Structure 1
Amino acid sequence: MTHTIDVQTPHGPVSFFYCISTPTNEDSDSVNPALPTVLFLHAAWVPSTIFHPQFADPTLRRFNLVALDLLSHGRTQGAVPAVYGEREAAEDVNAFMDALHLPPCTVFALSMGTIIALRLALSFPAKVNGLFLVSPLGGPEPEDVANGRIQVCDVWKEAYASETVDREALNDAIHGSLQLCWNSQSSMASYRLITVTHPQCLSHWPPSNFPALESTTVTFFTDRKGFTPEELDKLKEVPIVLAPGSEDIAYPPEYFESFAKQLQGGKVTKYTVQGAPHYGSTSHWEA
């Protein structure tokens, strides 16, 4: 799966890496217009490869499945603007959908991707049929999680403090992200994902590109204030599934419950994935 498409976004040109799977072709050039389309938006630090379990699921393979690497992740290439938050990311996704002529989609999103999915539904409502949000980040970033993201970023930078890159420090940064993503519990899926992701991170975030590292893995979260009641009121007619993990050590249950209450009155279903960590769509995908 090596498709790329050059897209002119509001902040400049981006070459998006993406893949399309249909019931008859796991590496298609286009979607089947007769079938519903599911668009996958990944989390921070990892590319769209994280959705391999979903793309391998026969239940989901009945539909068009589309996943892209977001800016500063995976095999997507493009300059990160000085200000890059949920609005800019949603504009990127909208431009990508236009370039591929995608129909309105159901969006399956994880962690950071859920922020973008919600903003996409608000800014471009005609593009979204529904939202399935795994570990939905609807509220402001909790202080302890923000500090964890800052620490991972700082350790990554420290690895480049001398002429020789400190591989141990890089591993420490990876371990820090593992704590947030999978509660420090390694699995074959997470190991394979890290093996693929590590060289991509090295390519995206050398010292010359530290501002992009901060924008896409720290301030993207820490600068946001959540969604206003007026904004969430606009989502009342959008079918939304909230799927937090019961073993998410980064975000407490109260965080997800608070956001679910904000969406009351809409077409919302909350389903807690038992035993799942923050990036539960990889470890508990069968749930």
Structure 2
Amino acid sequence: MPYVDLHCADDYASIFYTTNTPHGNVGGFDPRKPSIIILHPLFLDSTWLHLQFGDPRLTSNYNLIAFDMRVAGKSVARLSAHHDSWVDAADLAFCHQALHLPPCHILALDGISVNCALRFAVLFPEMCLSLTLCNVPAPTELKWVVTAYDELMHNWCSAEDLEAYEHVAKEAVTFVVGPQCEADLQDDLIAYWEITMPPQKIAPVVETLCVLMHRQPVPPQALATITQPVLLIQGQMNETCPKINAEKLAAELTNAQGGAVIYSVKGGAGNLSIVPGHASIMNKVFATFLSRQPHQRSELVPPETDKIERMKTALAALAEIIGDSSIASRDPTSSLSFSCLPHDACRRQTEILNKYRDRKTGTFTPVGPDGRPVRRYSDRKAGHWFHGEKDGLSIAGNTFLPPEKKNYDRDRSEKPSSSQESAPDQRLRRGTVTASTVQKQVIKGSMAKVVSTAPAAGHLHRLVA
């Protein structure tokens, strides 16, 4: 399989990549076509880019290459508390130089990919032809999103049975796709997570979420150095990445060629690349944007600058951006040298990783002995109060009246209704037994006979008591 090995004294990572060539490697690139680097969404990997790799508007006219981030998909790396989006950008630059890639258009499909793409364009502008960023996140993560991610990590790792795991996976679907998700896509997402991200393998996911939660904003003076054309594609109904973030970023990209362009996808509430309808719109807008850019051939030639010297230059630029001169003297062979996390953030990430790393053994696994999911999420036994409806509410909110009763209720307007039936709030009231409510036997005859056969009041009170 195609991998790029990054190794140095303090780090090791094997980055997996795939292409749209017959053999899945860069050797099959057509030198006449421009090249596109695609960065996958959060909680997913390059296998979820089939709607881009299978779109003839892209795959017929461009060389496509996608990388799995260091703690996602088939990539393998040591867990590190120093991991941030600057490190992801350095990983991408190392891979770009190792594969002798030409300058590429960048398509970032989610918040964590957007953070990587922006930093890559700042530090390595000669490797980047244009930027297309989908669902721009806030400079620092929103407080309610951090709380939700923290709860998601805890519940994901502590799931003790299949019902609990499927429940937290359903919550993750809401983050990735939005509140409305087709059943087939929901089943595929949950099955993918059951196989690749069970509770005992949650540490890489935790590291990815730490990168999101503890990120530091890119300084405005650094964003002003981006001169490539920029397209911002935004889901109109996305709550975790609202459109105002794209508008603010566009205002800060003061030197982007022609100004940053914003395109809103109506109805987009989550990731745009895996929902077929939204993905088709996104691909069309992206292809139209690229068709307006100058044509660039894809000759696979070694870079003009030595890799070590180029990374030293990038570290010096990063030191100036962050205002920390010690960054320039770090090891240029290590991606972790590009980490800009403060000491407190590194300490918190270390504590979180140690916390979830210790839960690795003895945890529940949601797959069977064959390594495959036990069932599809939509095939679970429904009718329990724990299962949610389409709107996320309990199934207890449904009506359980039989169909014939419902039909009868629809026709009740033709019949006279009592005052109780017209009351808006029908509740079952508990009856109370008193002397006046005890059922009395009806006896026909004279009044004297009735009185002589009625029980005594004392006996009635004793009966009620």
Structure-1 separation of matches of 2:212 and 2:91: 17
Structure-1 separation of matches of 2:138 and 2:99: 28
Contact 1:9 1:91 (8 Å CA) reproduced: no
Shift in Å, 1:153: 0.9
Q: Does 114-123 or 243-252 show the bigger shift? A: 243-252
TM-score, normalised via structure 1 length? 0.87
Superposed CA RMSD: 2.1
Shift in Å, 1:215: 2.2
Q: Does 185-194 or 139-148 show the bigger shift? A: 185-194
Residue 156 of structure 1 aligns with which residue?
156
CA gap 1:127/1:259 in 2 versus in 1, 3 angstroms:
same
Which amino acid letter does the alignment assign opposite residue 32 of structure 1?
D
Q: How many residues align?
A: 273
Residue 176 of structure 1 aligns with which residue?
171
Task: Deviation per CA, 1:141-168: give whole Å up to 9, x if none.
Answer: 1111122211211111222xxxxx4333
* 1:213 paired to 2:210: no
Which amino acid letter does the alignment assign opposite residue 242 of structure 1?
L
Contact 2:224 2:254 (8 Å CA) reproduced: no
Shift in Å, 1:49: 1.8
Residue 37 of structure 2 aligns with which residue?
39
Structure-1 separation of matches of 2:129 and 2:53: 20
* 1:17 paired to 2:8: no
How does 1:1-287 map onto structure 2 within 5 Å? 2-8=1-7, 12-22=11-21, 25=22, 27-30=24-27, 31-61=29-59, 62-111=61-110, 112-137=112-137, 139-159=139-159, 165-187=160-182, 188-202=184-198, 206=200, 210=203, 212-217=204-209, 219-235=210-226, 237-267=227-257, 268-283=260-275, 284-287=278-281
Contact 1:85 1:220 (8 Å CA) reproduced: yes
Contact 1:75 1:200 (8 Å CA) reproduced: no
Structure-1 separation of matches of 2:124 and 2:168: 35
Greater Rg over alpha carbons, structure: 2
Residue 462 of structure 2 aligns with which residue?
none
CA gap 1:5/1:264 in 2 versus in 1, 3 angstroms:
closer
Task: Deviation per CA, 1:187-245: give whole Å up to 9, x if none.
Answer: 3345334433431123xx627x63x433212x21221232211011101x111110010
Shift in Å, 1:138: 5.2
Contact 2:140 2:216 (8 Å CA) reproduced: yes
Contact 1:36 1:64 (8 Å CA) reproduced: yes
Is the partner of 2:191 in helix, strand or coil? helix
Shift in Å, 1:73: 1.0
Which amino acid letter does the alignment assign opposite residue 102 of structure 2?
P
Contact 2:45 2:72 (8 Å CA) reproduced: yes
Contact 2:20 2:63 (8 Å CA) reproduced: yes
Shift in Å, 1:43: 1.9
Structure-1 separation of matches of 2:163 and 2:194: 13
Which amino acid letter does the alignment assign opposite residue 19 of structure 2?
I
* Identical positions, percent: 25
Structure-1 separation of matches of 2:187 and 2:18: 22
CA gap 1:11/1:44 in 2 versus in 1, 3 angstroms:
farther
Shift in Å, 1:5: 3.3
Unaligned stretches of 5+ residues in structure 1: 160-164
CA gap 1:136/1:253 in 2 versus in 1, 3 angstroms:
closer
Structure-2 separation of matches of 1:232 and 1:244: 19
Structure-2 separation of matches of 1:131 and 1:99: 21
Shift in Å, 1:178: 1.2
Is the partner of 2:49 in helix, strand or coil? helix
Higher strand share: 1
CA gap 1:131/1:156 in 2 versus in 1, 3 angstroms:
same
